[in-house]
Amino acid sequence: MTINILLLVAAVPFALLAFFRLAGIDGNRHIAATLALTPYVTACGLLLGVLALVARSWWIGAVVLALTVALLAVLLPRVLPDGQPDNGGAVLRVLAANLYFSNGNADQVVELVRDNDVDVLALTELDSTGVAALADAGLFSLLPHEALRTADYGSGSGLVSRYPLDELPPIEPSTFAQPRARLHLPDGSSAEIVAVHARPPISDMDDWRTELAALPPAPETSTRILAGDFNATLDHAAFRRVLDTGYHDAAEQRGKGLVPTWPSGLYPPPVTIDHVLADSRVAVRDYQVLDVPGSDHDAVYAELVLPG
């Protein structure tokens, strides 16, 4: 009897989280934070279900394993690469990096730009000190075009590009700066890019939902890319609603949707909150998660091929 009670005590919170995830309910800030841990919770559910069966708690084991299978079904596409459209348009290499109050190592950021032949860089948590450090490291000789909105206390962001930029009105409403610009490519085509930085749900759920909902949908004829720190994973309904407006996630497209991007250490458990989203007509040829010393986030890189 005691083991059944212990198994039930463990199964109830697991079942509640599974319900919220499968029903598409982000709930309050505590539930949203826990939903980000869905891959870990799923692994725990598998262990719990097996233990219940070993202990002959048949109905607990059956329910827990059924929910675990349902969660595995939503996680599995993240590790399976998807087929890509056979595009003949321009290649665009995008890097997004959260600089953690401009503490991210500027030399390393520039090295990543150089080594990966980056065309456009989306920076978040950028202040004037960070811009100066990046300038000293030689960023603006590699990427001479910019649309910067620096600010203190981690609320600044910017776009830096190899190709000319026409700055557009920033995304509003937004707690942090979210600049956007139209990028003019050498073949005569163009693409719009947004440096995304949504407020964390643990700070304010209403603002988080509002800011994600304010991100522009994918256009039907041109190309739009959203890159940066969404403070959301694929297990958040608010983030999936952004995808439903016509985008796909570069990491998921390449089977790397479970590779974590924050924090850079082991506590709290690392989760995937930084993303590169492109409209579904864009092919994703490569995706990488890259270390930025001094930042609590890893950078995310995607090589995209635009429609011809």
Q: Dump pLDDT digits (tens) for 95-151.
A: 999 999 999 999 999 999 999 999 999 999 999 999 999 999 999 999 999 999 999
Range of the domain at 117: 91-305
Per-residue confidence (pLDDT) for residue 203, from 0 to 100: 94
- 179 and 217 share a domain? yes
The whole-number average pLDDT for the span 239-268 is: 95
Q: Positive or negative, the Cα torsion across 172, 176, 181, 185?
A: negative
The closest of 176, 218, 214 to 198, measured between CA atoms, is 176
pTM to 2 decimals? 0.95
Mean pLDDT (the chain, rounded): 96
CA 202 to chain centre: 16
Q: Do residues 128 and 158 make contact, with C-beta atoms less than 8 angstroms apart? A: no
The structural domain count of the chain equals 2
Residues 68 and 166 reside in one and the same domain:
no
Structure confidence at residue 1 (pLDDT): 60
Answer whether residue 84 is part of any domain. Answer: no
SS3 call for 272: coil
Domain boundary among 55, 79, 103: 79
CA dist., res. 296 & res. 231, Å (int): 13
Determine the angle formed by the axes of helices 38-54 and 2-23, rounding to 10 degrees.
Answer: 150
Digit-coded pLDDT (tens) for 164-215: 999 999 999 999 999 999 999 999 999 999 999 999 999 999 999 999 999 9
Residue 86 lies in a domain: no
Handedness of CA 114, 118, 124, 126 (dihedral sign): positive
For residue 15, pLDDT beyond 90:
yes
Q: Are residues 186 and 247 both part of a single domain?
A: yes
pLDDT at 208: 98
Query: What sign results for the dihedral spanned by CA atoms 168, 296, 240, 80?
Result: positive
In contact, 192 and 185? CB cutoff 8 Å: no
